[in-house]
Structures are given as structure tokens and as C-alpha cells.
């Protein structure tokens, strides 16, 4: 997985292209590179917002078994996976169709698309998270980053859910059953 922690100049240009006033956003970041910024979703990117542990398992699947990920941030204990525009509209229906939303294997994923906005971490920083716990795990480093679509994120969510499930060939134990030690039989 990429160890990029800081947004490059090209990555900042891509992020700011999501806003109504990209040059103003870039100027703000140049003046205050340690400040997080709120950006609209739906044009340059969508965001799939997952609980931290489950999001980390999704990210691991994307890098270990799949094509990798686009930019990924942590904000207030949640994982923000940047995705292709349109993902926020399509992913929930794919999860429902696959019945993963009803089985409890995949926790509710918040999908931010057109009409939504997200707070992105600071432009630069060290490995330590900002006061709100925000930081880049995979920072944007190009003007045209690869962004996973809904099918790839569905694949990662299903694989992450399966990774969290222990499968046993033994039936569950009956908690009220009497247990006898038969190892000392005569």
C-alpha cells in the first residue's frame, strides 16, 4: 500500500477541482496547509464513509487482493474511501441486491455523492493525526487519480465482511448444556 502521507501539488489541484472556486481553495491551502477543507462530492469524486475497522479491512482487501485504492483519509474515527463519481448512488443498491445490507455482514456504509460534502484532512502534515483525528492514509498525488467504482467497492466490502466472519464446522455450543468430563472414564 502507498505510504503517501502528504497531498502533492497535483493532488491538491485535483481535490480543489471538486469545489466551485478551485483557485480560492488552492490559495487557502497555500496560506494554511494545516487546515482541513470541506469539499463537495459528486463531480470529481464520491466518498464511501465506513467505520474505521471495517474500512481498514476493505482497504487491506483492495491492496492485497485487488487493484489498490484511490485516496483514503481518516476523519473522526471513520474511513473515507474516495470513489468514482456515481458510486454513492449505485453502491447501496448493489449491496441490497447482493443481500449484504440485510445480513449484517457489511455495516451501514455512508455514501456521499451529488449534493453532499466531506471534510478532507490538511494539505500537508506529519504521520500524527490532526486534533480531530483526521489524516491521509493514501494522499492524492496526481491530477487524475484512479478511483474505484461501485463494483470494486462492493467486491472489497464483501471480502472484508467475509474476512471478519469465522466459519466453523462445529455447531455452536449450547450454553445451558451440562458438560461432563469423560476423559477419566474407567
Residue-wise pLDDT for 134-170, tens only, equals 899 999 999 999 999 999 999 999 999 887 655 444 5
Which pLDDT does position 11 carry in this prediction?
Answer: 94
Which pLDDT does position 56 carry in this prediction?
Answer: 96
pLDDT for 79 beyond 90: yes
Considering the entire predicted model, what is its pTM? 0.81
pLDDT for 80 beyond 80: yes
pLDDT digits (tens, 9 = 90+) for 8-67: 999 999 999 999 999 999 999 889 988 889 999 999 999 999 999 999 999 999 999 989
- In 59-160, the DSSP E strands lie at 72-75, 78-83, 110-112, 117-120, 135-138
The grid coordinates listed for 25 are 481553495
pLDDT for 119 beyond 80: yes
Half-sphere exposure of 11 (CA within 13 A, CB side): 21
3-state secondary structure of 170: coil
pLDDT for 4 beyond 50: no
Q: Are 156 and 108 in contact (CB under 8 A)?
A: no
Q: Are 36 and 132 in contact (CB under 8 A)?
A: yes
Amino acid at each position: 500500500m502507498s505510504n503517501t502521507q502528504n497531498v502533492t501539488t497535483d493532488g491538491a489541484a485535483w481535490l480543489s477541482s471538486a469545489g466551485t472556486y478551485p483557485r480560492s481553495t488552492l490559495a487557502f491551502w497555500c496560506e494554511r496547509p494545516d487546515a482541513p477543507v470541506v469539499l463537495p462530492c459528486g463531480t470529481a469524486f464520491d466518498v464511501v464513509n465506513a467505520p474505521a475497522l471495517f474500512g481498514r479491512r476493505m482497504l487491506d482487501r483492495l491492496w492485497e487482493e485487488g487493484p489498490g485504492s484511490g485516496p483514503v483519509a481518516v476523519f473522526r474515527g471513520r474511513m473515507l474511501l474516495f470513489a468514482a463519481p456515481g458510486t454513492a448512488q449505485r453502491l447501496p443498491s448493489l449491496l441490497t441486491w447482493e443481500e449484504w445490507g440485510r445480513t449484517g455482514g457489511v455495516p451501514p456504509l455512508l455514501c456521499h455523492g451529488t449534493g453532499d460534502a466531506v471534510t478532507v484532512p490538511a494539505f500537508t502534515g506529519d504521520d500524527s493525526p490532526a486534533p480531530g483525528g483526521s489524516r491521509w492514509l493514501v494522499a492524492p498525488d496526481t491530477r487524475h487519480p484512479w478511483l474505484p467504482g461501485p463494483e470494486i467497492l462492493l467486491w472489497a466490502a464483501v471480502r472484508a465482511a467475509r474476512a471478519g466472519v469465522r466459519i466453523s464446522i462445529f455447531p455452536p455450543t449450547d450454553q445451558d448444556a451440562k458438560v461432563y468430563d469423560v476423559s477419566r472414564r474407567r
